[in-house]
Structure 1
Amino acid sequence: MTDLQTSPAATTADPTTALLDRARRTVLDGGEGLGLADLVEVLRVPDDRVPELLDLAHAVRMAHCGPEVEVEGIVSLKTGGCPEDCHFCSQSGQFTSPVRAVWLDVRQLVAAAKETAATGATEFCIVAAVRGPDERLMAQVREGVAAIRAEVDINVACSLGMLTQAQVDELAAMGVHRYNHNLEAARSYFDKVVTTHSWEERWETCTMVREAGMELCCGGLVGMGESLEQRAELAAELAELDPHEVPLNFLNPRPGTPFGDLPLMGSQDALRTIAAFRLAMPRTILRYAGGRELTLGDLGTRDGLLGGINAVIVGNYLTTLGREPDADLELLAELRMPIRELAKTL
């Protein structure tokens, strides 16, 4: 990452024009992500200049990633009863959120993978609400991954919490294509979000996953009361980690959680955030994840796809409802954004 010095010509322009010019040289032309100071300024771009910002982010996406969109479906293998206290999550066993503990069997996993593949998705992620997998969970994942790979033409990803090196190696050996483990929040804000484990523990799991050869999916959640500086810090930390994919979630306040009474992020702030993450990571898959339906709505979803997003989760999320898959697929067709083919993600 780098921050270019403002050129003499740019000093005569207004600050937003100077910022956009600097970003165009650094990211679009140079292929380098913006540094922390410029990312903060991106998040402060006035509302009337957001369309220009989105146009630049879209140009970066097209130049460095192309027009294709990766489509993914997710399913929760183990829902609820998690011992961790992530303040946004209704699956924590420490809160009064109305999510009951449920385990799926292998037959249900295969059925869900088939439904996901039928939408045109190339990625199917098995998720479990745990601190980290025990032997029972690893055994079920082992059986489930083998069954899915035998019956469904789709890549299999997992999100099972924090891992040991042995577990990382085993997941890689069983053919898991991608592992999801979000940083969730900036390092300086993390202890306001989670107290039962550390930001460093999450970083360590992400590092082991990358070194084992699996693709790393690592993103975060915005709108949790963090400052603009901390939102920019999260983008910069993710850029340093350099994951293959970054899922961008917007807080959907869940009843019974410590963040249940926080307001929704405004749509303009959400769009600025999308652009900032794209300008921090020009070559990364940037995926729409949870909360976009409430935060952005249909029009904002379109704007984000034209402002740096190049991947979507179709259907429902772990504990909240998403858009109908057909609505997303129809929008992609309207925008002439082809779905990435399976062979191109292997």
Structure 2
Amino acid sequence: MTIPHHSVEHPILETARQQVLEQGIGLTETQLVDVLRLPDDALPAALDLAHQVRLRHCGEDVEVEGIVSIKTGGCPEDCHFCSQSGVFDSPVRGVWLDIPELVKAAKETAATGATEFCIVAAVRGPDVKLMNQIKFAIDRIRQEVDINIACSLGMLTRKQVDQLASWGVHRYNHNLETARSYFAHVVTTHTYEERLETCAMVKDAGMELCCGALIGMGETLEQRAELAAQLAALEPHEVPLNFLNPRPGTPLENQQVMDGKDALRAITAFRLAMPRTVLRYAGGRELTLGDLGTREGLLGGINAVIVGNYLTTLGRPASADLNLLVDLNMPIKELQKTL
């Protein structure tokens, strides 16, 4: 992927410079469509503007996180992108990770300089057994390593939200994934409103909300802008940006991989929609962007990274991302005490 060296200031970027950079007001859905339609020769200027917005409204630090699955596969939901769904004939089968392995993973994550460790389970929502395991895992991790603990356990009840908050869970992940108007094309076993309900309870309980996107699933540019605007309205602390990595056996296995320049336009748009939000590189960037695109995204609005592997796909080596941050003179955010 090669981006032209010359760049031009497009009218939407002039607007964004005043509205987002100077005033800190995110672009509207209609304005975001204009960003997503920018020609290639305007992309360098767009990325540069998004980077300036990130520096002014978020600072220069980059937050590093590791994730690990306590339960992989066998999920009853039919998310069409996910190889962990038990509905589809995918090669991923149900596996549970024991607590010592979870603690080991937390230690390894902390050793990279990461401040966040996210425990993930492929479930519709946690049952009593899983909640008890999560409580035990949190206690053991806290005994062994100093790191913020996040969770991603599907849809929650009010009682479960309150339990996680009382156990000291720092952040809860529950992605919208796609725009409301496209949601039924991607998931049929639960609704967009059910996801929003969990997100609202997480915020009410005082936990940070991590709510992200998976783009490149066949949605239109307008729907991509719709999703960015809907996330902005939700005001999550963090938005992970995933790019579809088509998985064998899923309904989206033959979906074409998203063009790298379109991915960079999306990064720019999400930053200009949410100037103060943590915008995290997540799954699929290795396939969609490669090394060059990963660097350009970090200079185009991204200010957080998941290092190492993802739940069912391989990521870049953690050392590659950490070395890239050093090369770009981007300091890694230090652990903030919340006690």
| TM-score category (smaller protein) | over 0.9
Q: Which deviations, in whole Å up to 9, do the C-alpha atoms of 1:80-100 show, x marking residues without a partner?
A: 000000000000001011001
- State the one-letter code of the partner of 2:71: K
Shift of 1:311: 0.2
Verify: 1:38 aligned to 2:35, yes or no.
no
Verify: 1:70 aligned to 2:63, yes or no.
yes
Shift of 1:149: 1.1
Match of 1:162?
155
Match of 2:110?
117
Aligned equivalents of 1:47, 1:96: Cα separation in 2: 39
Verify: 1:279 aligned to 2:272, yes or no.
yes
- For structure 2, the 5+ residue unaligned runs are 1-7
Match of 1:5?
none
Aligned equivalents of 2:219, 2:11: Cα separation in 1: 26
Shift of 1:18: 1.5
Match of 2:5?
none
Verify: 1:95 aligned to 2:88, yes or no.
yes
Aligned equivalents of 2:95, 2:317: Cα separation in 1: 23
- Residues 16, 45 of structure 1: 8 Å contact kept: no
Shift of 1:105: 1.2
Report % sequence identity: 73
Instruction: Give SS of 1:172's match.
Output: helix
Shift of 1:344: 6.5
Q: Which deviations, in whole Å up to 9, do the C-alpha atoms of 1:284-315 show, x marking residues without a partner?
A: 00000000000000000000000000000000
Which of 267, 270, 274 is the aligned partner of 2:263?
270
Structure 1 runs of 4+ off > 6 angstroms? none
Match of 1:297?
290
Aligned equivalents of 2:33, 2:298: Cα separation in 1: 22
Match of 2:232?
239
Aligned equivalents of 2:11, 2:330: Cα separation in 1: 31
Verify: 1:172 aligned to 2:165, yes or no.
yes
- Residues 209, 236 of structure 2: 8 Å contact kept: yes
Aligned equivalents of 2:54, 2:47: Cα separation in 1: 10
Aligned equivalents of 2:184, 2:10: Cα separation in 1: 36
Which of 141, 153, 173 is the aligned partner of 2:146?
153
Shift of 1:17: 2.1
Verify: 1:336 aligned to 2:329, yes or no.
yes
Shift of 1:48: 1.1
Instruction: Give SS of 1:276's match.
Output: helix
- State the one-letter code of the partner of 2:64: V
Match of 2:4?
none
- State the one-letter code of the partner of 1:229: E
- Residues 76, 124 of structure 2: 8 Å contact kept: yes
CA gap of 1:344–1:145, structure 2 versus 1, over 3 A, is closer
Aligned equivalents of 2:213, 2:261: Cα separation in 1: 18
Shift of 1:345: 7.3
Aligned equivalents of 1:205, 1:256: Cα separation in 2: 29
- Residues 74, 86 of structure 2: 8 Å contact kept: yes
Q: Which deviations, in whole Å up to 9, do the C-alpha atoms of 1:6-65 show, x marking residues without a partner?
A: xxxxxxxxx962111100000000001000000000000001110000000000000001
Aligned equivalents of 1:341, 1:167: Cα separation in 2: 29
CA gap of 1:289–1:226, structure 2 versus 1, over 3 A, is same
- Residues 126, 159 of structure 1: 8 Å contact kept: yes
- Residues 122, 345 of structure 1: 8 Å contact kept: no
- For structure 1, the 5+ residue unaligned runs are 1-14
Instruction: Give SS of 1:72's match.
Output: strand
